[in-house]
Chains A and B, each alone.
Chain A
């Protein structure tokens, strides 16, 4: 990691650790909510940003994770059983979803994942015996951690922060490894990658599966955060919002999900002062943001660098032209 990035990362970490005790209940709840989405979007960033796939069904995995934990806890099992079951379940289902990706491209893949999301949502809504249907599952408890209760908003926040940091480090390691390079090769030019010996089928499936695991874990955390699970947060519209968060933050940039989730979760909150127009302002801001920064918010440093380089290049050209002109 370069020096300035490391510094920013450390400052962010300090703020995240020390800041929340100064916030009131609602503020802490909001920050936890934001972190959960950061985690889910890290997975989507892998699938969409690094591996170049089109996934509009991410909220389905988010929901599967949440319901797994909620149902298991209601049946009396511990959160610590629910969490790994959610993760493994999402991995398997993510692999299965990857298969259509092998057959169809871009826009068709996007709609296939959208179809998957709708199907999952339908099951969540209709199968009342399992999921509680539209009534949902209420009073999901917060887990205990080696005897410490995580009931209060603040302690649960630190737990979510811990999990997010851990998963973030795992992702960081993954992306720096040869696997990470294989993913970006898949995104940039799959045919060339295949000719170089990268098994694009396996990596396509994996990009979906790993992305799904992140969403599943995030969903599990979400269940105990909101303590009430119903189908509404897991619709296609939610998937589309997650996609928006990843692209706005900067697909393919590691910290993209942090900014993107902030835009998606925190911005509507800050805009509440605009009363009835707050969603309109939000939608308009997204459009403006895309027009200004089509590669996402985190592309700003790259753009500044590119502009500086091009200025230097044209200055060099002018100087060279002058010297040639002088010589002639």
Chain B
């Protein structure tokens, strides 16, 4: 039983990381129909920027704040103006391919411009271990889970309770009506991109101590984030959290009890089942088809 709990808790910690990456991805899709295949790289770049600020002497939290600023500018505004705005009206294909190109460019840019190796990343949390009923948890595990939960619920609250948040939701649901109602649609869309950038920074801060900063860390993270987003529900932010946790926990349990070589398949099977029987995700709402 302790073994099961050990795996479960480790899985929750890993899964909450996927969840934060998935959240921004979901928001972007809802608000602007942008599929961002570079989402993993959006987490990788802030990680390296933070390392850069660290190297010139800034303490971790200061680097984080500075990086958030850079990210909103580059990954939020830059991404929107440079890629999303010109391409959105051409349907999904061009923007998908453009973000694929962006992912390749970002990955290779960091590799060529900085380093091809993995780098250690300072952790927010002190290196402490707790032993609860035979199960070992690190402070980082608990902290990551708690912070991710906070981020998700915070974003949810922002979207539901503030005026700006509700305006963003209105834009996501029906852009034309939102314009008619006098909502500044381009600005709301920009806010969505900015929130995505901030979430990616937060994910970087939480993930990189374990993942280690390397130019290709975005690849597997991005993949897992997609799966998490779909399982949880593309139309719902809380779904991202559920999806991420499911992916993280099931991977661990599958590796231990079924087969380590097929552990990725378990997340896959859940994913396929969800797609086939509940395509809007476990927590999502059905989107009506337009004729």
With A111-B271, A290-B98 already in contact, the answer to whether A283 and B106 are too (CB < 8 A) is yes
Closest chain A CB from B173 CB (angstroms): 17
A286 touches B98 (CB 8 A): yes
Q: Which of B88-96, B161-169, B200-208 contacts A (4 or more CB under 8 A)?
A: B88-96
- Verify if A186 is at the interface (C-beta below 8 Å from B): no
Give chain A's interface residues, CB within 8 Å of chain B: 48, 54, 100, 103-108, 110-112, 114-116, 118-119, 122, 125-126, 191, 236-237, 240-241, 243-244, 247-248, 251, 275-280, 282-287, 289-291, 294-295
- Verify if B103 is at the interface (C-beta below 8 Å from A): yes
- Verify if B64 is at the interface (C-beta below 8 Å from A): no
Minimum CB distance partner of A268 in chain B: B104
Question: CA separation between A286 and B103, bound complex, in Å?
Answer: 11
Question: CA separation between A112 and B272, bound complex, in Å?
Answer: 6
B289 touches A243 (CB 8 A): no
Minimum CB distance partner of A277 in chain B: B112
Question: CA separation between A8 and B202, bound complex, in Å?
Answer: 53
Taking A104-B275, A251-B93, A294-B90 as given, write out 17 further A-B residue pairs in contact, using a Cβ cutoff of 8 Å, ordered by the A residue number.
A105-B279, A108-B230, A108-B275, A111-B226, A111-B271, A118-B265, A119-B265, A122-B268, A126-B262, A280-B108, A282-B108, A283-B104, A286-B105, A290-B95, A290-B98, A291-B86, A294-B86
User: Which A residues lie within 8 Å of B234 (CB)?
Assistant: 107-108
- Verify if B276 is at the interface (C-beta below 8 Å from A): yes
Question: CA separation between A105 and B279, bound complex, in Å?
Answer: 9
User: Which B residues lie within 8 Å of A104 (CB)?
Assistant: 275-276, 279
With A240-B37, A244-B97 already in contact, the answer to whether A287 and B83 are too (CB < 8 A) is yes
User: Which A residues lie within 8 Å of B113 (CB)?
Assistant: 277, 280
- Most central of B101, B102, B272 by chain A CB within 10 Å: B101
- Verify if B131 is at the interface (C-beta below 8 Å from A): no
Minimum CB distance partner of A260 in chain B: B97
Task: List 11 contacting pairs A-B, 8 Å CB cutoff, sorted by A.
Answer: A103-B276, A105-B289, A106-B92, A115-B272, A122-B268, A236-B223, A277-B108, A277-B113, A280-B109, A290-B101, A291-B86
User: Which A residues lie within 8 Å of B98 (CB)?
Assistant: 286-287, 290-291
Q: Which of B29, B90, B111, B112 contacts A295 (CB 8 A)?
A: B90
- Verify if B87 is at the interface (C-beta below 8 Å from A): yes
Chain B interface residue number, banded: 35 or more
With A115-B271, A240-B37, A244-B101 already in contact, the answer to whether A122 and B108 are too (CB < 8 A) is no
- Verify if B174 is at the interface (C-beta below 8 Å from A): no
Q: Which of B105, B219, B227 contacts A283 (CB 8 A)?
A: B105
Closest chain A CB from B109 CB (angstroms): 5
A107 touches B93 (CB 8 A): no
With A108-B279, A294-B87 already in contact, the answer to whether A287 and B265 are too (CB < 8 A) is no
A283 touches B272 (CB 8 A): no
Judged by DSSP, the binding face of A is: helix
Question: CA separation between A243 and B99, bound complex, in Å?
Answer: 12
The 9 closest A-B pairs by CB, nearest first: A283-B105, A286-B101, A283-B104, A279-B108, A294-B94, A276-B112, A280-B108, A290-B98, A294-B90
Minimum CB distance partner of A108 in chain B: B279
B230 touches A111 (CB 8 A): yes
User: Which B residues lie within 8 Å of A114 (CB)?
Assistant: 226
- Verify if B291 is at the interface (C-beta below 8 Å from A): yes
Minimum CB distance partner of B33 in chain A: A107
A291 touches B83 (CB 8 A): yes
With A104-B279, A111-B230, A247-B93 already in contact, the answer to whether A126 and B108 are too (CB < 8 A) is no
User: Which A residues lie within 8 Å of B271 (CB)?
Assistant: 111, 115
B279 touches A115 (CB 8 A): no
User: Which B residues lie within 8 Å of A247 (CB)?
Assistant: 93-94, 96-97
Minimum CB distance partner of B230 in chain A: A111
With A108-B279, A122-B262, A294-B90 already in contact, the answer to whether A284 and B105 are too (CB < 8 A) is yes
- Verify if B147 is at the interface (C-beta below 8 Å from A): no
Q: Which of B203-229 contact A (CB under 8 A)?
A: 219, 223, 226-227
User: Which B residues lie within 8 Å of A105 (CB)?
Assistant: 279, 289
B102 touches A283 (CB 8 A): yes
Closest chain B CB from A128 CB (angstroms): 10
A248 touches B265 (CB 8 A): no
Question: CA separation between A39 and B219, bound complex, in Å?
Answer: 28
- Verify if B74 is at the interface (C-beta below 8 Å from A): no
Question: CA separation between A269 and B279, bound complex, in Å?
Answer: 41
A243 touches B108 (CB 8 A): no
Question: CA separation between A283 and B279, bound complex, in Å?
Answer: 32
Question: CA separation between A295 and B276, bound complex, in Å?
Answer: 31
With A107-B234, A291-B86, A294-B94 already in contact, the answer to whether A280 and B105 are too (CB < 8 A) is yes
